[in-house]
Amino acid sequence: MCGRFSQTFSERDLLEYFHLARCLSLEPRYNIAPSMEVAALREEEGERRLVFLHWGLIPFWARDGKIGYRTLNARSETAHKTASFRAAFRSRRCLIPANGFYEWDKKGGTRQPWFIHRVDGRPLALAGLWERWQDPEGERVIESCTILTVSAAEPVARLHDRMPVILEPEGFDCWLDPAGQEVETLRGMLKPVATGVLSLYPVSPYVNKAGNEGAECIEPVDNEP
């Protein structure tokens, strides 16, 4: 599961880590919630480009956009054959850069948020799918995305049994190639993150409210998992 994350990197971070040909100017966002616009990378005309997508994938065949509330995440084990995701899985894959994501410890009747990030401080490359949807009246077009999930690895497994798929740079070309890859090749990329890549620390319940923003969302507080 991935229900909240942050995008607070600099333009230089994105250009260097993702080898972008160009980059949009981004405002730091510490508390991105479902149905918001997110920055994502996809390949267009032979180069990697940063675009903004609605978080909550709307399949091209949907009658209305409300389905996006149920498609924030896609299970990596079944996305290639699920009606909402299989077309995008074949040729509309993307990366969603993040500094980290949040998960909650719900023990003891409280919801203690934790911020999960890379140990080496580099951005996370969350594997995603994107889709282009036009309403039946032809009045608007929405480009949207979903984040693929996999069984959680440590340390996330202490908090939840699912987590986003995190890809490493050597897999970016294959994942982003819109010309398509063998389904089994793509599925083989969707696996739990290696041991030692991630770390986590507790943050303030301030982040629990989706409308709250700012660096306070990722400031550590005293607690133990």
- For the stretch 47-91, pLDDT in tens is 999 999 999 999 999 888 888 788 999 999 999 999 999 999 999
Question: What pLDDT sits at residue 1?
Answer: 67
Rounded to whole angstroms, how far apart are CA atoms 156 and 196?
A: 11
Residue 138 DSSP label: S
219 DSSP β-pair partners: none
* Mean pLDDT of the region 179-195: 91
Q: Where are the domains of the chain?
A: 5-218
Question: What pLDDT sits at residue 5?
Answer: 97
Rounded to whole angstroms, how far apart are CA atoms 212 and 220?
A: 16
Query: How far is C-alpha 146 from the chain's CA centre?
Result: 7
Residue 211 DSSP label: T
Question: What pLDDT sits at residue 224?
Answer: 55
> Under CATH, which architecture does the 5-218 domain have?
Alpha-Beta Complex (3.90)
Cβ 98 vs Cβ 149: under 8 Å: no
Question: What pLDDT sits at residue 206?
Answer: 96
- In angstroms, the Cα distances linking 111 to 11, 30, 198, 209 are 33, 18, 21, 11
Question: What pLDDT sits at residue 179?
Answer: 84
Q: Strand locations in the chain, DSSP E? A: 5-7, 29-32, 37-44, 47-55, 73-75, 93-98, 100-105, 112-118, 124-134, 141-151, 162-164, 198-202
Token pair in block for residue 4: 């909240």
Question: What pLDDT sits at residue 153?
Answer: 94
130 DSSP β-pair partners: 145
| Catalytic status, residue 103 | yes
State pTM to two decimals: 0.94
Counting Cβ atoms within 10 Å, is residue 171 exposed (0-12), middle (13-18) or buried (19+)? middle
The catalytic residue among 2, 23, 94, 217 is 2
* Mean pLDDT of the region 156-172: 96
* Mean pLDDT of the region 185-194: 95
Closest C-alpha among 19, 31, 20, 77 to residue 55: 31
The catalytic residue among 43, 103, 131, 143 is 103
| Catalytic status, residue 2 | yes
Rounded to whole angstroms, how far apart are CA atoms 118 and 105?
A: 19
Tell me the pLDDT of the chain averaged across its residues. Answer: 92
Return the minimum-mean-pLDDT range out of 41-45, 130-134, 135-139, 158-162: 135-139
